[in-house]
Amino acid sequence: MKGLVWLLIVLCLAFGGCARVDSSKRLRIITWADYVPADIAAQFEKETGIRVELTLSNNEEMISKLHATGGAGYDLAQPSQDRITGVQREFGLYKPIDVRQVNLAQFRPEILEITRRIATLDGKLYALPYLWGSEGLVVNVRRAQASDYMDLCRADLKARTSMRLRRPTLMAFAFALGKDPFALYENPSAYAALMEEVGKTLSACKSNVRFFFDNKDQLLNGMRSGEILAAMMWDTGGWTLNRENPDIRYVVPKAGALGWLDTFALPYKGRNDAGAYQWINFTMRPDIAARITRNVGNWTAARGTEDLVDQTMRAQFNASFPEGIFKGIQWYPAVPPGLEVMEGKILDRVKAAN
């Protein structure tokens, strides 16, 4: 048996390395649900001969899985823009992007610049933008008015609003209080004081909250039924409801919507960088990017897709952002270590408050 094993190893080496041949024909992606539509993956395989293998995940699981393997097991990861440089500095899970392998002309320059600013560490770029979106307010304008996050706490909306008990809510209410939480990331004591203030504000607002939602169906159904009149919600949820009921609209708050970007990043021990770059260039083609937008509901970082997407979606976007594509969006910067533990304690106190 040992002799047979050694014979197989020798044959593999003699004919160029079995692992290398195998890795060039498959692309292992760890990503979010719905981010890789089946028909898109099938077309990529048809054009390149590379089979896409998916692992569905989220930011926390991506970090955990890659940390456990030292950056092995996947060829492409799709973390959010604020979970890259801090993780890279602490664990070294990613390799720098070789921009020579990427058709940068396919990217919207303003989105690319945001990603460069947030995902660059020690002069090296560790991610490229893929999908983006924002979180603000969704309001039934026929029955209520709300233009900023603090409006969810008004007396006339008692028990008719909703939000999540998650860190985006802390960030949103910090901005609504006239503070910039992102500017305090490097000042832990000042940041802690701001989070205490936000926690007290949210605790006092609890009687206005019909429920802290745990999943999108719970929130969407609450808005559909009229149980909820105003909520903190992501843009695509608001646009979905607007297609069903024109009185329900996504509103960019006065304090600013919260902007997120999910990215392309190369795990440190990935085996098929060439395939990963092929996938990035493929998905940023306008025709492919428009199909992804129609499937997922979020806009990609690709340029030239406006006339290829659903025109209702385009009209909704323009109505929500009448002054320009990114005006009024507060983009999440990289999260320093330790902040989320602090925020979790604040959220626990809000949850326990009477």
pTM of this prediction exceeds 0.95? no
135-258+332-352 matches 23-132+260-323 in CATH topology: yes
Containing 124, the helix (H) or strand (E) segment is strand 124-125
The larger pLDDT score, comparing residue 6 to residue 185, is at: 185
Judged by average pLDDT, the poorest of 33-47, 123-137, 264-278, 328-342 is 328-342
CB 211 within 8 Å of CB 162: yes
Containing 300, the helix (H) or strand (E) segment is strand 299-300
What percentage of the chain exceeds 90 in pLDDT? 84
The larger pLDDT score, comparing residue 3 to residue 343, is at: 343
**148-153 average pLDDT score:** 98
**Res. 7 pLDDT band, cuts 50 70 90:** very low
Please list, in sequence order, all residues whose beta carbon lies within 8 angstroms of the beta carbon of residue 135, skipping any fewer than 6 positions away. 168, 172, 232, 233, 234, 235, 257, 258, 260
So where are the chain's domains? 23-132+260-323, 135-258+332-352
**Res. 322 pLDDT band, cuts 50 70 90:** confident
The larger pLDDT score, comparing residue 311 to residue 248, is at: 248
The larger pLDDT score, comparing residue 41 to residue 4, is at: 41
Distance of CA 218 to CAs 191, 245, 303, Å?
32, 17, 34
Q: What would the pLDDT profile of 252-283 be if each residue is shown by its tens digit?
A: 999 999 999 999 999 999 999 999 999 999 99
Superfamily per CATH, domain 135-258+332-352: Periplasmic binding protein-like II (3.40.190.10)
User: What's residue 325's pLDDT?
Assistant: 59
Class of domain 23-132+260-323: alpha beta
Q: What would the pLDDT profile of 104-138 be if each residue is shown by its tens digit?
A: 999 999 999 999 999 999 999 999 999 999 999 99
Predicted confidence (pLDDT) at residue 307 exceeds the cutoff of 60: yes
Residue whose token pair is 């983009």 = 331
User: What's residue 4's pLDDT?
Assistant: 47
DSSP 8-class letter at 257: E
